[in-house]
Amino acid sequence: MSLYTTIHLHNVPAGREADYAAWFDGKHGGDLARLRGFRSADRYEVTPEQVMPDIPQPWRFMSVYEFDYPSPEIDLPALGPLLAEARDAGLIDLAGETERIHSYAMYSDWVSSPNHQRDKPFSGASIILANFVAGREAEYHKWYDEVHGPEVTRVPGKVAMKRGRLSPLQIEPRRYCPGSDLVFCAQQTDDLLFTVKDFSARARGVSPSGVAMAPRSTAGSFARTVHYFRKISGTEFWPGGIAYDGDLSVYPADFARPAA
């Protein structure tokens, strides 16, 4: 089995937001549940709070699809026709060709910090479309795994991280992705502005907490884009059509909840 994450970055035509949400929470959720290897799906909206405010945020919405594929080369393309339904129904704004669908082979599942409240859903997420300096990939991964990942997920409001490599298997329309790697960080916070500010302060060594991050590894390229989102879907769809809203008590004891 192989862990894959597909992110669908898109805009919705003005006035069709409720239609898109109804499609995602209705027919789309049922169709996803029938795909081999399906684990979960959720929707997010870009936030005004951004750690790099000068970076363009061309997408208002992001849908995230999690899979554990038996055979990625067979199973990953099956998501394409389901996303095409939204496009065909006029639920995707095609102006400027801003829509992006990027699939990643994940290096691991979520790696949580002590901040993670496992009985509660994520409130949002950030993504980095990242790159490493050529010839220094091993150093880059070591820095993320041993230094940067743990220090990032200990920032108040940040709770877990997982990373992946852009897959050679992609869903059409296949368009340019500026990063070879995905850094996917989960949040549980009702004060994202504080989280973003303290993250920046820790990185610069000026946080009131007294916590300072280690110097940034020179193996990590500055050619990257960073995007923060808040969760807007009321449920996460899991295999079998189960809709998770944060209350684990409604599920039988033998239900295998995907790791979060």
Q: What is the pLDDT of residues 171-191, one digit of tens each?
A: 999 999 999 999 999 999 999
pLDDT of the residue at 198: 97
pLDDT for 243 beyond 60: no
Q: What are phi and psi of 197, to 5 degrees?
A: -65, -40
pLDDT tens-digit profile of 24-75? 999 999 999 999 999 999 999 999 999 998 899 999 999 999 999 999 999 9
Q: Which residues pair with 45 in a beta bridge?
A: 61, 230
Q: State the average pLDDT over residues 6-34.
A: 96
pLDDT of the residue at 96: 86
Sketch out the chain's domains with CATH numbers. Answer: 2-244 (3.30.70.100)
Q: Indicate the average pLDDT of the chain.
A: 90
pLDDT of the residue at 250: 33
Residues 6+ apart with CB under 8 A from 222: none
pLDDT for 240 beyond 80: no
* Structure-block tokens of residue 198: 């303290």
User: What confidence category does residue 242 fall into, taking pLDDT thresholds of 50, 70 and 90?
Assistant: very low
pLDDT of the residue at 235: 52
User: What confidence category does residue 110 fall into, taking pLDDT thresholds of 50, 70 and 90?
Assistant: very high
User: What confidence category does residue 1 fall into, taking pLDDT thresholds of 50, 70 and 90?
Assistant: confident
Cβ atoms 186, 123 nearer than 8 A: no
pLDDT tens-digit profile of 122-180? 999 999 999 999 999 999 999 999 999 999 999 999 999 999 999 999 999 999 999 99
Q: Is pTM, for the whole model, over 0.85?
A: yes
Percent of the chain surpassing pLDDT 70: 90
